[in-house]
Amino acid sequence: MGISRREYARLRGVSESAVRKAITTGRISVEADGTIDPGRADRQWDERTDPARQRGEHARTLAAATAAGTARAQAARGAPPPGTRPVPQAALEAVRETLHEAGADAEPGEAPGGEVSFLRARLANEVIKAQLAKVRLGKAKGELVDRARAASLVFDLARRERDAWIGWPARVASNMAAELGTDPHRLEVVLDRYLREHLGELAEIRVDLGGGS
């Protein structure tokens, strides 16, 4: 003896009318006394129904189990879970580089260019957050300055210094010529030529604000 249609509907997670319709259309069979064997009825219902059209708690459980099985199979093959995109190789390299700089050795069996475990990716994320916090603290304490602003200030200072030197021969040539007893114009021309050569040599110097050697 099985269970009533109402009880089976409750177990199946569908309406009682859906159970009656399944019996009428031959999707599931009933016992001689009109009751339902839930195990046999579930098998018949699953075998004779398009999975995409199934409803109710049983259908959701079945779909979840199927999805989990698919995910496990894909994971075994190294494929990404459905609905997700493969992690770009550049991102994986960034994780490995961050961990290497932090002194975290590669895991045993981790192949160069291969996948990175979730734990190591999370560790890299924590390292980056710590580095950012250190930078913010350094700025707050005045130990660090904005690189773009520093470069702009250095360039502006160098330009002002150059402009000041460019006008120097004209300002001092007359006094120097009087002391030396020579022609002021000729002295200014000579001073200007040598000064510009010297400034040209200084212009070849490159200021590195990146912290590199």
For the ranges 4-13, 25-34, 71-80, 181-190, which has the lowest average pLDDT? 71-80
The predicted model scores a pTM of: 0.32
Give first-to-last CA distance, the chain, whole Å.
Answer: 86
pLDDT at 73 over 60: no
On the question of pLDDT at 193 being above 90, the answer is yes
Tell me the average pLDDT across 149-176. Answer: 87
Q: Which residues contact 56 (CB under 8 A, 6 or more apart)?
A: 12, 13, 14, 18
The larger pLDDT score, comparing residue 200 to residue 134, is at 200
pLDDT band at residue 36 under the 50/70/90 scheme: very high
pLDDT at 213 over 50: no
| Average pLDDT of the segment spanning 52-61 | 54
Per residue in 79-102, pLDDT (tens digit) is 455 555 555 556 666 766 776 676
Angle formed by the axes of helices 168-180 and 147-166, nearest 10°: 40
Tens of pLDDT, residue by residue over 127-138, are: 777 777 777 776
- Rounded average pLDDT over 195-206: 84
Is 157 or 177 the better-scoring residue by pLDDT? 177
* Whole-number average pLDDT of the chain: 75
